[in-house]
Amino acid sequence: MAKKILLVEDEEIMIDLLKRKLSKEGYEVFVARDGEEGLKKMKEMEPKPDLILLDIVMPKMGGFEVMEEMKKDEKLKEIPVIVISNSGQPVELDRAKKLGAKDWLIKTEFDPKEVLEKVKKQIG
């Protein structure tokens, strides 16, 4: 069975590129365009996603808030999260780590291929 990835990202082009890349590799990609939607989908999805690719700066609810909500939920807190963001402030990286993020990718530092590698490393 294909691994499920929930992509929570507000930029359309990033969604298209990542979805294309990951789907090509056999991953089933679900998309949420803001944090609120992402959280809702997480809760609704059964089984739960195998990985969450989470942006930080999003409308309605940002990535940190999503992670905080996920921590409170027994079913959601175990889902691995890779943050993909254009912010690179060390304080943010620390915060993400404390909230349980497995990795942090700065979009300008990495390309979709490298993202794929990170995903494979995380969920196979």
CA separation for the pair 104, 6 (Å, rounded): 16
**Segment interacting with another protein, rule: CB under 8 A, options 8-16, 31-39, 41-49, 95-103:** 8-16
Nearer to another protein, 86 or 122 (CB): 86
CA separation for the pair 98, 5 (Å, rounded): 22
CA separation for the pair 82, 9 (Å, rounded): 12
* Cis peptide leading into residue 59 (ω within 30°): no
Q: Does 65 bind another protein (CB under 8 A)?
A: no
Q: Does 26 bind another protein (CB under 8 A)?
A: no
Q: Does 95 bind another protein (CB under 8 A)?
A: no
**Torsion sign over Cα 26, 73, 87, 60:** positive
Angle subtended by helix axes 63-72 and 90-98, to nearest 10: 20
- Shortest distance (Å) from residue 67 CB to another protein: 18
Nearer to another protein, 36 or 92 (CB): 92
The pair of three-digit structure tokens given for residue 80, joined into one six-digit string:
């691995």
Q: Does 122 bind another protein (CB under 8 A)?
A: no
Q: Does 88 bind another protein (CB under 8 A)?
A: yes
Residue numbers at the binding site for another protein (CB under 8 A)? 11, 13-14, 17-18, 20-21, 24, 57, 85-92, 94, 106-108, 111-113
